[in-house]
């Protein structure tokens, strides 16, 4: 709801000392002229400079002087100024296979993470983000790897360096008590205990509290998540809900394992595991998308409303934003008083209690804006939150409520309850990680979207939204790409609009 480190390159500099030959002290040499001596000295100096230049060039080119590329450490960050300690360089993750064993009564977690990745450079070592949990073993391609820790940085050094383009598997076993942490904005995230289990909420930093990984939105991957939990004293198993589809349930006597699979790429901050007791409701959208809706018994009186609302909102969003991007949909309605937020966990948004229509629309819109099309960096978060907030305005408009123009005017005039502070900074330039969830990113972000709609007309506006979700489906995108698309589809120069509403530091003088 991030990480800056500079890359460290290993440079090997060879120093070559040349010892001048001893000259015979003969009469003939002693008779050499001073001019000849100076000429020889200049020639030797030129030769030495040329040799030094060649040696320096070899080092700069990243090889060991024999033409063999030099393996370097992966960066311990991705130069994202808003989250300078998150994400890592040198590799790209393709898949996480997480095998977890969790005991709710003691809040103890034991895990094995198998991470399949591709090296994006010649790699001597690389980093993973992991907070708190104790690492027991680590291997790379089956061979024991050396591991060191510094804060939330886990550095893995394989037995042999990895070549640029190599696919490799890292297996990490770990255990401990997963932590709930306070985010930069003061919100709670990470592994959070509930009254009947736990939930894992990751935006922006919390996922590192329960599995090692490359925890930055720019590195998306597919997931297999298996969670084993005990049965309670009555012999009833805890339920486990996660992203994607439930592929298998295994009863192991006093324990149960549930396996979930996410087939489409997912950023780690929207990965989720929720353990507790739930009433499960299944169904399909009008387009045949399978639904899995889990409702805590303490929220059961609203279960029917949620069960009806989920497919209605998915159908409405599909019409407005394009085909639903995932192979299943749903929701997790937990009972966690005091959390004070919902999260767009992929395929099944997480709610601390039964949501109203507006909140459901916002979190479901994120399946298109934020989950399928994910911000490339955290400064681009307005593309997720601004578009999801504008989805709320569109829903109200379509349900014969306030028009989007009315809502826009309320934000501009400061009469909307969520308009406080919207002019504090431009939506695409949060000054710090602690402020990237502030109102300029949400409310003013939605105002930018409305001004685009106003400038290009409804037909072009909805074409922009459909093209955006299709062109960047399951990928990452940034602010520049959105601006370019708006100008491409409209055929207009919209620089003044974006300079004023998106990048401008001051409140515009008029609307």
pLDDT per residue over 477-490, tens digit each?
Answer: 999 999 999 999 99
φ, ψ dihedrals at 246, nearest 5° = -75, 115
The number of beta carbons lying within 10 Å of the beta carbon of residue 5 is 18
- The C-alpha atoms of residue 40 and residue 25 are separated, in whole angstroms, by 17
24 pLDDT exceeds 80?
Answer: no
6 pLDDT exceeds 90?
Answer: no
Residue 265's closest CA among 218, 220, 213, 324? Answer: 220
Per-residue pLDDT, 68 = 52
Per-residue pLDDT, 29 = 31
**Looking at domain 373-501, which CATH architecture does it have?**
Orthogonal Bundle (1.10)
Residue with the larger pLDDT of the pair 361 and 45: 361
Question: What mean pLDDT do residues 182-198 have?
Answer: 93
Question: What mean pLDDT do residues 461-480 have?
Answer: 99
SS3 category, 14: coil
- Token digits for 382? 């307005």
- How confident is the model over 97-136, as pLDDT tens digits? 999 999 999 999 999 999 999 999 999 999 999 999 999 9
- How confident is the model over 225-251, as pLDDT tens digits? 999 999 999 999 999 999 999 999 999
Per-residue pLDDT, 63 = 55
202 pLDDT exceeds 60?
Answer: yes
22 pLDDT exceeds 80?
Answer: no
Domain boundaries, the chain: 1-10+72-270, 373-501
Question: What mean pLDDT do residues 440-445 have?
Answer: 98
Per-residue pLDDT, 498 = 99
| Max Cα–Cα distance, the chain, nearest Å | 113
CB 365 within 8 A of CB 389: no
- Token digits for 223? 């997931």
φ, ψ dihedrals at 403, nearest 5° = -75, 160
Per-residue pLDDT, 65 = 52
Per-residue pLDDT, 296 = 98
- How confident is the model over 288-311, as pLDDT tens digits? 999 999 999 999 999 999 999 999
At CA 359, angle to CA 372 and CA 188, rounded to 5? 80
pTM above 0.85? Answer: yes
Question: What mean pLDDT do residues 277-290 have?
Answer: 98
Average pLDDT across the chain, whole number: 90
- How confident is the model over 25-74, as pLDDT tens digits? 333 333 333 333 444 444 444 444 444 433 333 333 355 554 557 999 99
Q: Kindly state the percentage of the chain with pLDDT values over 70.
A: 87
CB 270 within 8 A of CB 345: yes
- How confident is the model over 126-139, as pLDDT tens digits? 999 999 999 999 99
Per-residue pLDDT, 400 = 86
Q: What is the DSSP string of 260-287?
A: EEEEEEE-GGG--EEEE--EEEEEE-TT
Per-residue pLDDT, 452 = 99
Per-residue pLDDT, 510 = 84
Q: Kindly state the percentage of the chain with pLDDT values over 90.
A: 84
- The C-alpha atoms of residue 238 and residue 275 are separated, in whole angstroms, by 7
**Looking at domain 1-10+72-270, which CATH architecture does it have?**
Sandwich (2.60)
Indicate if 373-501 has the same CATH topology as 1-10+72-270. Answer: no
146 pLDDT exceeds 80?
Answer: yes
């Amino acid at each position: 709801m991030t990480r800056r480190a500079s890359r460290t390159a290993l440079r090997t500099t060879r120093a070559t000392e040349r010892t001048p030959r001893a000259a015979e002290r003969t009469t003939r040499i002693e008779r050499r002229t001073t001019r000849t001596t100076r000429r020889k000295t200049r020639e030797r100096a030129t030769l030495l400079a040329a040799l030094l230049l060649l040696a320096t060039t070899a080092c700069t080119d990243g090889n060991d002087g024999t033409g063999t590329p030099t393996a370097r450490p992966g960066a311990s960050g991705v130069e994202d100024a808003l989250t300078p300690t998150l994400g890592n360089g040198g590799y790209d993750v393709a898949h996480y296979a997480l095998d977890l064993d969790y005991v709710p009564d003691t809040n103890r977690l034991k895990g094995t993470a198998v991470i399949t990745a591709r090296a994006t450079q010649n790699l001597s070592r690389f980093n993973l983000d992991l907070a708190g949990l104790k690492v027991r073993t680590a291997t790379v391609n089956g061979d024991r790897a050396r591991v060191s820790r510094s804060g939330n940085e886990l550095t893995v050094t394989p037995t042999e360096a990895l070549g640029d383009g190599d696919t490799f598997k890292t297996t990490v076993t770990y255990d401990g008590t997963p932590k709930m942490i306070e985010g930069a904005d003061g919100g709670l995230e990470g592994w959070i205990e509930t009254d009947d289990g736990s939930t894992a909420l990751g935006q922006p930093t919390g996922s590192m509290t329960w599995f090692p990984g490359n925890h930055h939105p720019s590195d998306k991957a597919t997931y297999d998540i298996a969670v084993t939990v005990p049965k309670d004293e009555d012999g009833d198993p805890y339920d486990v809900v996660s992203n994607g589809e439930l592929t298998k349930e295994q009863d192991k006597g006093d324990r149960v394992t549930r396996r979930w699979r996410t087939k489409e790429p997912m950023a780690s901050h929207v990965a989720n595991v929720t353990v507790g007791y739930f009433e499960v409701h299944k169904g399909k959208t009008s387009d045949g998308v399978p639904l899995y809706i889990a409702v805590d018994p303490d929220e059961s009186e609203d279960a029917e409303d949620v069960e009806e609302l989920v497919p209605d909102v998915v159908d409405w969003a599909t019409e407005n934003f394009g085909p639903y991007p995932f192979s299943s949909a749903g929701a997790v309605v937990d009972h966690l008083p005091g959390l004070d937020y919902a999260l767009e966990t992929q395929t099944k948004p997480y709610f601390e209690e039964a949501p109203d229509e507006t909140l459901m629309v916002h979190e479901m819109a994120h399946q298109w804006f934020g989950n399928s099309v994910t911000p490339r960096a955290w400064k681009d978060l307005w593309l997720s939150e601004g578009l999801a907030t504008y989805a709320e305005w569109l829903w109200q408009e379509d349900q014969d409520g306030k028009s989007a123009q009315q809502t826009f005017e309320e934000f501009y005039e400061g009469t909307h309850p969520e308009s406080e502070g919207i002019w504090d900074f431009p939506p695409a330039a949060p000054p710090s990680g602690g402020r990237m969830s502030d109102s300029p990113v949400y409310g003013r972000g939605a105002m930018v979207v409305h001004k685009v709609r106003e400038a290009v007309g409804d037909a072009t506006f909805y074409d922009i939204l459909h093209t955006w979700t299709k062109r960047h489906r399951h990928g990452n995108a940034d602010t520049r790409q959105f601006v370019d698309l708006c100008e491409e589809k409209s055929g207009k120069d919209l620089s003044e609009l974006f300079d004023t509403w998106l990048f401008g530091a001051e409140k515009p003088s008029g609307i």
